[in-house]
Amino acid sequence: MNRAFAGILLASLAVCAPAAAQEDVKKEIERYRQMVSEGSPAELFELEGEALWKKPQGPKQVSLEKCDLGVGPGVLKGAYAALPRYFKDADRVMDLETRLLHCMISLQGRSREEATQRVFGNADRPSEMESLSAYVAAQSRGMKMAPGEGHPKEKAAYELGRALYFQRAGSWDFACTSCHGEEGKRIRLQELPVLLKPENARSVVASWPAYRISTSGFITMQWRMNNCYQQMRMPEPAFGSDATVALIHFITVTGKGEIYRGPGNKR
Amino acid sequence: MAGPMKMRATLAGGNTEVRVLMTHPMTTAQSGQPLHFIQNITVKLNGSAVIEAEVSQAVSRNPVFSFRLKGGAKGDKIEVAWLDNKGESNKIETAVA
């Protein structure tokens, strides 16, 4: 009788313990993130990005300092917080990286092939896009995320992004929702936010692009989309394609209104 | 060429809090690549050394160091310099804010 009771008690403890431990782990991860954010290597990428922004490059040997990110040529303050948005000169919606590429081609006279040869770098050699993203995004710190929503093409991009979020395809028949469609899911310790919900999208939007601690590299939204498609075993999406821009736009609009705190830190 | 460094030094409760970021690969023996890591860090306050530190391989890439110096005043010059096992070095100076 006593032994049976002890057995039940042990069983109930065993059920409770993981839940409590999980809370502790979450708290510790929070504390760790807090410590990292107070001295984030993301700042080093911002410095590299600033140097690249001002460096004359390409056949025309000009810098990106006249690049119009949507709030005027060369204006950086608040530019990232208002992206993605519709650009009349390109007649399409662009996110930060797609716009940077546009400036590399139109201002610096570089070819798309050359400028996109190495858009995703690594710890030993970050890509131009990564450092530039860090620099530009940092100039929107403390500002409200307000991507473009008024133009018909912006509305179309949002709808396309939303549709793609649910679109199952590939050899594993995966969609974004396969991982990011249900609350409480995670891969190892990484929580998988349901990006259809503003309360989840907001903190994501406020912290990307980001420094990734486990790889010591800087990661961008275009990289995130590319890597998710790779993990879903789908064909690699083209850099700055309508599909990746639409997904980024959809997520950003869903998380709009949040104060930008990035570039952030990821596990 | 050594990558950028960044440093903040602020007065807090009679002490000076310093936080410094360094760009460095901090390659360990485990990576299979040639060892490459910061070995010495020197901190100077208004030109005179206050910390001489030896650093091992067991420090992450792009390390951040933070420490507190007793006292200090606005405008004091703080210099942090590192030297690695290949003889490469870098330093940064900032005024206490």
ipTM: 0.77
Q: What percent of chain B has pLDDT over 70?
A: 99
Nearest to B70 by CA among B94, B96, B92, B36: B96
Taking a C-beta distance cutoff of 8 angstroms, is the pair A120, A223 a contact?
yes
Instruction: Tell me the shortest Cα–Cα distance from A254 to chain B, in angstroms.
Output: 34
Answer whether residue B30 shows pLDDT above 90: no
Please answer yes or no on whether A38 and B6 come within 8 Å at the CB atom.
Answer: no
When the pLDDT of each residue in chain A is averaged and rounded to a whole number, the result is: 90
Nearest to A106 by CA among A50, A59, A153: A59
Question: Known catalytic residues of A?
Answer: 228
pLDDT band at B55 (very low <50, low <70, confident <90, very high): very high
Instruction: Tell me the shortest Cα–Cα distance from A232 to chain B, in angstroms.
Output: 30
- CA dist list (Å): A9 to A1, A2, A219: 12, 10, 47
Chain B residues touching A38 at Cβ < 8 A = 19, 66
The whole-number pLDDT of residue A16 equals: 46
pLDDT band at B1 (very low <50, low <70, confident <90, very high): low
The whole-number pLDDT of residue A94 equals: 98
The whole-number pLDDT of residue A7 equals: 45
Q: What percent of chain B has pLDDT over 90?
A: 73
pLDDT under 50: residue ranges of chain A:
1-16
The whole-number pLDDT of residue A21 equals: 73
Please answer yes or no on whether A48 and B4 come within 8 Å at the CB atom.
Answer: yes
pLDDT digit string, tens, across residues B10-20 = 998 889 999 99
The whole-number pLDDT of residue B24 equals: 93
